[in-house]
Amino acid sequence: MATESPRRPSRCTGGVLVRPQAVTEQSYMESVVTFLQDVVPQAYSGTPLTEEKEKIVWVRFENADLNDTTRNMEFHEIHGTGNEPPLLVMIGYSDGMQIWSIPISGEAQELFSVRHGPVRAARILPTPYFDSQKCDSFAEKRPLLGVCKSIGSSGTSPPYCCVDLHSLRTGEMVKSIQFKTPIYDLHCNKRILVVVLQEKIAAFDSCTFTKKFFVTSCYPCPGPNMNPIALGSRWLAYAENKLIRCHQSRGGACGDNIQSYAATVISAAKTLKTGLTMVGKVVTQLTGTLPSGVSEEDVAIHSNTRRSPLVPGIITVIDMETVGEGQVLVSEDSDGDGIVAHFPAHEKPVCCMSFNTSGMLLVTTDTLGHDFHVFQILTHPWSSSQSAVHHLYTLHRGETEAKVQDICFSHDCRWVVVSTLRGTSHVFPINPYGGQPCVRTHMSPRVVNRMSRFQKSAGLEEIEQELTSKQGGRCSPVPGLSSSPSGSPLHGKLNSQDSYNNFTNNNPGNPRLSPLPSLMVVVPLAQIKQPMTLGTITKRTGKVKPPPQISPSKSMGGEFCVAAIFGMSRSWFANNPGLKREKDQSKQFVVESLYIISCYGTLVEHVLEPRPLSTAPKISDDTPLEMVTSPRASWTLVRTPQWNELQPPFNTNHPLLLAADAVQHSQFLLVGLIPPGSPGPITRHESYDSLASDHSGQEDEEWLSQVEIVTHTGPHRRLWMGPQFQFKTIHPSGQTTVISSSSSVLQSHGPSDTPQPLLDFDTDDLDLNSLSGGVMSLNNLQGSRRKKHHS
């Protein structure tokens, strides 16, 4: 570890700057000693604690205007040079909260820090979408911070029953939303603010914060997320408490996979424990006392579950733009406006779910935490019953139970990280279109097509589709695997859960739908465990069992809050503090770095290096993967009681305020209020009347000039594109150039294009005499055939 302190004051915000520290074997051993000092009493260790730290309750990576790459022109320019916006980290303490920014330079910058009691949830609200008909009523106050704390602004409401919106520009509270029941979480995007209650969801408009719609049919979960939801850029997914057949989409998941031997043994032990628990409850009812370790809430939950007709594991996805105002009701009598999909995902209650960046993929998990399902949602314009939900993957974690608290996609949607309360993060490889992860799909820095050039040119795609149509769409694309014998519209049973190659197909069997991609069981390539200041890393491939892991601290109740996110590497400063960052340094890795922050307040950057399977006899495009992980840098972000607070109002050069101004300026450019090429952000007293007047003279049919319709596409493979064809050019010099079907000479040229020299062709010297002799023999052969035909 470095001898000098990594912290120093910031001139821009007035907060603290933390430099990254290189992770070495020595620092790893020091982290073990720190962990032992936390677990072992001080009397036994004989060494005093170095520095007192505040207790962390929750951690989270946030998306706000500061890292919005879609609406900030400055970020577009930065992104083009190989950089990216900073990471935003939010830390909730038992007394207050803190916000950090980690830019590409590597120095973590403190942006916000207060102590005003326990905070259950907090969000930085992004600048909303607005147009000529919809104005932002809080434009002069942004950026806004939504906080749910134990004591509200009024002081009379029950604990955690109100959401206070504070302006980081002026420091005042601009809005307070009161509820009668406790709030468990907050979610927001550029359209709505979602307040999550125990069995309800309330959505508010991001421009006016008036109630837009609410849901009262949520299925509660024991924890850690009491009411899990997933909020994308336009869709909202939540756990429904019943399955309505008339709204059910085609596909989804149903039934558990065949358990392995270990899972069977664990299930038998749990069954015995459940029986003993029931005996204890009977004794409790007779004697009127509760056994030790059993609370009244647990008994009430089990009794309500026994009498409740609710169905667990159902997912409903709604469209925030098309759903009506008021209550969203999924019933047999409702018309289903705004319902995108409605399908079964698990047999147990849903514990956690998350959308990818595009909003087309949804990952869900249940309370057991054994398997995580990856769904692809394909909507239908008529109703949710016509939508297709493709079950692409089943990500298998293990046989022991674990509570999932965080799910994260990579930016290219080829990697998924699932973090549990055990303090472990599991890394899974997937493809956005399904199929087996292999060397061809995950050893390239860019996403590749589903079919390779050879598979397309050889016509394998047409052959697969022909076999699929003949066998009802249930033919396995892998040789040696039989088709699913079940005629169920949902995926079939699995023979094993411990291998890449054992998977079944998922096809509704409806002729109106295209064949669904094959369902695959994927095991994690890496497990990153963080039970201490710096996490231990284990590698897992195939059936290899992970090594023993250190048990969590008893003082933390055996549960660790962990959050993860993908991002470009920021460890260059820790490894080379005296050197400048090279532009192409971040492009040397195929996968982005994985950043994990735990309840100890230490942010660690892990470098992921996928490789072909070392035990494979031959490396090809279809070779399975294994992964090597290593920590590179760490940031200590946890604050101490002596840490000064950093409260609004902030200066105009504060990063959060500058980002809000830039995004608002970009938003006004998009709607046409500011002409292109304007020098800077607009003044905050601009009227929205000019925006409405600019659009008043436009015709409604103006958008038709921007429509491009493709009515016909050629076949994927021409006859001459096959590998069995070769093109030969005869030169006067007596040499022939052999051109393969993939050569660039076959590409079309414009009339003004000059012919390029044939430098990239494979040339073979051929004898023209032998070639003409071959032509003459071919003519003789054709003549003999004609004579034979006449005779």
In sequence order, the 6+-apart residues with CB closer than 8 A to the CB of 580 are: none
Q: Are residues 108 and 237 in the same domain?
A: no
d(CA 232, CA 407) in angstroms, rounded, equals 13
- pLDDT band, residue 581 (cuts 50/70/90): low
Q: Exposed, middle or buried by CB within 10 Å (0-12, 13-18, 19+), for 256?
A: middle
Nearest by Cα to 544 from 595, 600, 500, 577: 500
pLDDT of residue 37: 54
For the segment 11-31, what is each residue's pLDDT rounded down to a tens digit?
A: 566 689 999 998 865 555 555
| Residues 430 and 379 both lie in one domain | no
Residue 529: pLDDT over 50? yes
- Provide the H-helix boundaries in 628-767: 655-671, 689-696
CA-CA-CA-CA torsion sign (462, 465, 469, 470): positive
Asked whether residue 423 falls in the same domain as residue 377, the answer is no
β 314-319/235-240 pair status:
antiparallel
Name the most confidently modeled range: 247-261, 514-528, 650-664. 650-664
* Cβ neighbourhood burial of 83 (10 Å; 0-12, 13-18, 19+): middle
The residues with which 518 forms a beta bridge, in sequence order, are: 505
Domain assignment of residue 95, yes or no: yes
Per-residue pLDDT at 210: 95
Among the candidates 621, 656, 674, a domain finishes at: 674
Does pLDDT of 464 surpass 50?
yes
Enumerate the β-bridge partners of residue 213: 203, 326
Q: What is the arithmetic mean of pLDDT over 53-59?
A: 94
Closest CA to 100 of 533, 637, 640, 648: 637
pLDDT mean over 242-265: 70
Query: Encoding tokens for residue 304?
Result: 């309500």
> pLDDT tens, 304-321?
444 457 899 999 999 999
186 and 248 within one domain: no
Q: Residue 224: is the preceding peptide bond cis (ω within 30°)?
A: yes
Q: Do 89 and 203 have their domain in common?
A: yes
Which of 108-117, 483-492, 683-692, 752-761 has the highest mean predicted lDDT (pLDDT)?
108-117
To 10 degrees, what angle do helices 655-671 and 73-80 make? 100
101 and 238 belong to one structural domain: no
Q: What is the pLDDT of residue 87?
A: 95
The whole-number pLDDT of residue 293 equals 45
**How far, in Å, CA of 357 to CA of 533, rounded?**
30
Q: What percent of the chain has pLDDT over 90?
A: 44
Grouping H, G, I as helix, E, B as strand and the rest as coil, residue 298 is helix
Reply yes or no: is the peptide bond before residue 143 cis, omega within 30 of 0.
Answer: yes
44 contacts: CB under 8 Å, gap ≥ 6: none
Q: What is the pLDDT of residue 462?
A: 64
Judge if 145 and 238 occupy the same domain.
Answer: no
Rounded average pLDDT over 734-743? 53
292-296, 494-498, 712-716: which is most confident = 712-716
Domain tally, the chain: 3
Tell me the pLDDT tens digit for each residue of 549-560: 323 333 344 578
Which range is most confident: 92-106, 453-467, 696-710? 92-106
Q: Is the residue at 652 inside a domain? A: yes
Amino acid of residue 75: F
Predicted local confidence at residue 248, as pLDDT: 95
Mean pLDDT to the nearest integer, 573-583: 57
Whether 597 has a pLDDT exceeding 70, the answer reads yes
Question: Does 125 map to a domain?
Answer: yes
The tens digit of pLDDT for each residue in 430-459 reads 999 999 999 999 998 888 888 777 777 766
What pLDDT does 505 receive?
A: 31
The residues, any chain, with a CB within 8 Å of residue 215's CB and separated by 6 or more, are 200, 201, 238, 327, 328
Strand 518-522 to 503-505 pairing: antiparallel
Q: Is the pLDDT of residue 519 over 70?
A: no
Q: How far apart are CA 691 and CA 694, in angstroms?
A: 5
Looking at the predicted structure, is the pLDDT value of residue 493 above 50? no
Segment among 92-101, 418-427, 501-510 with least mean pLDDT: 501-510
User: Do 315 and 439 belong to one domain?
Assistant: no
CA-closest candidate to residue 607, choices 624, 626, 579, 628:
628
607 found inside a domain: yes
- Sign of the alpha-carbon dihedral angle for 413, 418, 424, 428: negative
Containing domain of residue 365, as a range? 229-256+311-401
Query: Looking at the predicted structure, is the pLDDT value of residue 780 above 90?
Result: no
Q: Which two tokens stand for residue 352?
A: 């956690």
> How much is the pTM?
0.74
Indicate whether 288 belongs to any domain.
Answer: no
- Residue 729 has phi, psi (to 5 degrees) of -110, 125
Examine the pLDDT at 236 and tell me if it is beyond 90. Answer: yes
What is residue 180's predicted lDDT score, i.e. its pLDDT?
A: 92
Is residue 757 scored above 50 in pLDDT? Answer: no
State residue 737's pLDDT score: 54
- In this structure, is residue 318 part of a structural domain? yes
**Strand 526-529 and strand 424-429: pairing?**
antiparallel
Better pLDDT: 543 or 35: 35
Which is higher by pLDDT, 781 or 439? Answer: 439
Q: How far is CA 706 from CA 289, 320, 701, in A?
A: 73, 26, 10
Given a cut of 90, whether residue 364 has pLDDT beyond it is yes
Residue 223 — very low, low, confident or very high, per pLDDT cuts 50/70/90? confident
The better pLDDT of the pair 323, 12 is held by 323
Q: What pLDDT was estimated at residue 573?
A: 65
> Which one of 643, 661, 689 terminates a domain?
643
- From edge to edge, which strands make up the β-sheet containing 192-196? 185-188, 192-196, 201-205, 211-215, 326-327
Co-location of 192 and 85 in the same domain: yes
**382 and 319 both lie in a single domain:** yes
**Tokens encoding 523:** 């095991």
Lowest mean pLDDT among 233-242, 271-280, 580-589: 580-589
Same-domain status, 416 and 521 = yes
* Average confidence score pLDDT of the chain: 74
**Is 223 inside a domain boundary?**
no
Q: Is there a domain that residue 650 lies in?
A: yes
Token readout for 82 is 């190989």
Question: Do 630 and 667 fall within a single domain?
Answer: no
pLDDT band at 669 (very low <50, low <70, confident <90, very high): confident
pLDDT in tens, 707-724: 666 666 666 667 777 777
Q: What is the mean pLDDT of residues 605-620?
A: 93
User: Which pLDDT value is given to residue 580?
Assistant: 55
CA 565 to chain CA mean position, Å? 9
Across the range 746-768, mean pLDDT stands at 45
Q: What pLDDT band is residue 670 in, cutting at 50, 70 and 90? A: confident
Please tell me the predicted confidence (pLDDT) of residue 702. 54
Of 186-200, 208-222, 305-319, 526-540, the one with minimum mean pLDDT is: 526-540
Average pLDDT estimate for 500-512? 31
Residue 387 or 153, more confident: 387
